[in-house]
Amino acid sequence: MDFTPEQKRRRTLALTIVVAAYVLSFFRRCAPAGIAQAPAASLGALLQPLVGWIMDLSWQGAVSGGARVHAPADYRLETRCRNIWQEWSQ
């Protein structure tokens, strides 16, 4: 099929409108979820340097492959978490 330049322009415009409507409908459905998750992601990004600084307080100076090596007790001090997997497996 051969289209005139005017027909090609109109078809391109129609396709652009359909694609734009689809993209905008996607953002209308998914944007609220992204906005709701933004504070949690931001909090994690802000707390990461603080957690690193706390772990560095108890670092003994061990390095492996250029990365600092921390003892398991350092993680427990930082997170105050129990290893429930180990408790359940016994």
Structure tokens at 24: 């905008």
Q: List the helix and strand counts (H, then E) for the chain.
A: 3, 2
pLDDT tens per residue, the chain (90 residues)? 688 888 888 899 898 988 888 887 777 777 676 667 777 778 878 888 887 888 888 788 889 998 888 887 777 655 566 666 666 666
Cα Rg, the chain, nearest whole Å = 27
49/55 Cα distance (integer angstroms): 10
Contact by Cβ (8 Å): 69, 63? yes
Three-point CA angle 72, 42, 80, nearest 5°: 25
- Write down the pLDDT at residue 71: 80
pLDDT of residue 84: 67
pLDDT of residue 19: 87
